[in-house]
Chain A
Amino acid sequence: MTISHAAPPLHRTALPRLLPPAPADLRAHVELHGPLPSANGLVAALRDAGLSGRGGAAFPVHRKLEAVAEAGLRTGRTPVVVANGCEGEPASGKDAMLLRLAPHLVLDGLRLAAEAVGADRAGTTYLAVERGSGLRAVLESALAERGQGRGQERGQEPGQHQVTLVEVPPRFLSGESSALTGFISGRPALPRFPQPPPRERGVGGAPTLVQNVESLAQLALVARHGAAWFRAVGTPAEPGTMLCTLHDAWSGPRVMEAATGTPLRRLFGLAPQGSPQAPVQAVLVGGYHGSWLPAAALDARLSAADLGVPLGAGVLAALPADRCGLVETARVLRYLALESAGQCGPCLNGLPRIAAACTELARPEAATRRPGLLADLARWSGLVQGRGACHHPDGTVRLLRSALTVFAAEAQAHVAGFCRAADATPLLPVPAEAPQEGAA
């Protein structure tokens, strides 16, 4: 198995790999990375490279490709490939950044993945982004550069590799695999009962590969440079680089490409341990379905094994010592509750109650008046976990439980009637809420 090295040789450990300094058009992209390679041996290369999905679930990419290709052969249906750029998480900006700066890397990956699973008919590749993200224009011009006109105008038939651009409603769950495949199939963008899963029956009933846009970009690089190159940075168990979105109180939110295994302290640009500058109280790892960790996590490295929690889509937030972690968490939980699809009884009933209780806990004057608050939160967490069509309640409970653990002392203070935080400035981004029409 040899990978064509037609691309200009890249230093093995040079960073960044994915993000160019400025948006790269097709010419700049080919100059930087070389022409589109062949998809021969791609799955084996991905297996050796150990590339796992960058959309949050970290599922091995080669296994997804194998499963979809096999389902296509078994059912006799041509598979479909969907590049998932629906970045529903408010705190994450990496997919948007990647699509603005390196759309051709993503499109290369989409094309290669389609070849690898046998999605070789017209109308079987899709690229999905959120409506209102402003990415449509960028992507349309990138597709035009690749020779994809508006088909009918030129009197051409849609090409075999024509990518259909899809804009989904800007909701947190729109990027969930079954919601996304359902939306493309003409149904609402809501999660479905996961049997059979989208890789068996997805868009139009065909086996569907749904892959995050960053995963596809990484795939496009592995196809050019091979598994050994990919593994030259990062940890052995979680090789390569990943895009992270960082939030802290000292700079604005920013997207970084970092090798796994990088110490978090270096990512955040913080002074070495023991320095009195800007102390951090806790770190959020993995976004709004992720986990709060105590400040000691700053001395750990960017790896799920090291941190002991999933990295999700790479959202990291450093909470300053003078903020209230419970107030931050309550705001996020409220957002997550409102973003529930409302289809599944336990989630519909549990998440709003959890959010309301956490909001009460975040206000010392309310927390003192509710003795059963923590018991209610524990009970409801147990009731929503694992009882839904998707993992929204599970992720929400993970965030809540980690908050109650890391901010346990704060919770006790609130129940006793006081909050220790001095600064009420919100750190984590939560979109505005539309006022409810005619409250029931």
Chain B
Amino acid sequence: MNVTVDWTACTGHGLCAELLPELITLDEWGYPLVQGVPVPSEAVRRARRAAADCPVLALKIRRQHS
């Protein structure tokens, strides 16, 4: 599972960085810097929540088929 950002929707609310600090930090303009690594298993629930809670639904969950 990976998280990606729909950049056309993101307005830099920053909730995702609060919920997934190990994967997401905020840049100097408030936009998320997402590491391209798969979501570790202990963070999966928080990742789903971050995607559901994003005020503009910009955070997307992608299931990877390798």
Q: Which residues of A contact B (CB under 8 A)?
A: 190-193, 195, 343-347, 349-350, 383, 387-389
Question: Is there contact, CB below 8 Å, between A343 and B28?
Answer: no
Query: Which 5 residue pairs spanning A and B have beta carbons closest together?
Result: A344-B7, A345-B31, A193-B6, A349-B29, A343-B8
**Which positions in B face A, CB cutoff 8 Å?**
4-12, 27-31, 33, 60, 62
Q: Which of A192, A345, A349 has the most CB of B within 10 A?
A: A345
A contact residues around B7 at 8 Å (CB): 193, 343-347, 387-389
Contact partners of B27 in chain A: CB under 8 A = 346, 383
User: B30 — nearest CB in chain A belongs to which residue?
Assistant: A345
Known: A193-B6, A195-B60. A383 touches B11 (CB 8 A): no
Given A195-B60, A346-B7, 10 more pairs with CB closer than 8 A:
A192-B8, A195-B62, A344-B8, A344-B10, A346-B27, A346-B29, A349-B31, A383-B29, A383-B33, A387-B5
**How far, in Å, is A349 (CB) from chain B's closest CB?**
4
Q: How far is the CB of B61 from chain A (nearest CB, A)?
A: 11
Residues of B within 8 A of A191 (CB): 8
A387 to B24, CA, bound (A): 13
Separation of A193 and B6 alpha carbons in the complex (Å):
6
* Alpha-carbon distance A344/B7, docked complex (angstroms): 5
Name A345's closest neighbour in chain B (CB-CB): B31
Interface pair A383/B8, CB less than 8 Å apart: no
> In the complex, how many angstroms separate the beta carbon of B23 from the nearest chain A beta carbon?
15
Cβ contact within 8 Å between B60 and A345: no
Inside 8 A of B4's CB, which chain A residues have their CB?
195
- Which residues on A sit within 8 Å (CB–CB) of B6? 193, 389
A341–B12 CA distance with the chains assembled, in angstroms: 17
* Residues of chain A within 8 A of B10, CB atoms compared: 344-345
* A377: min CB distance to chain B, Å: 14
Partner of B31, one of A195, A387, A389: A387
Cβ contact within 8 Å between B9 and A193: yes
Nearest residue (CB) in A for B10 is A345
* Distance, CA A193 to CA B11, complexed state (A): 14
A195: chain B residues at CB < 8 Å are 4, 60, 62
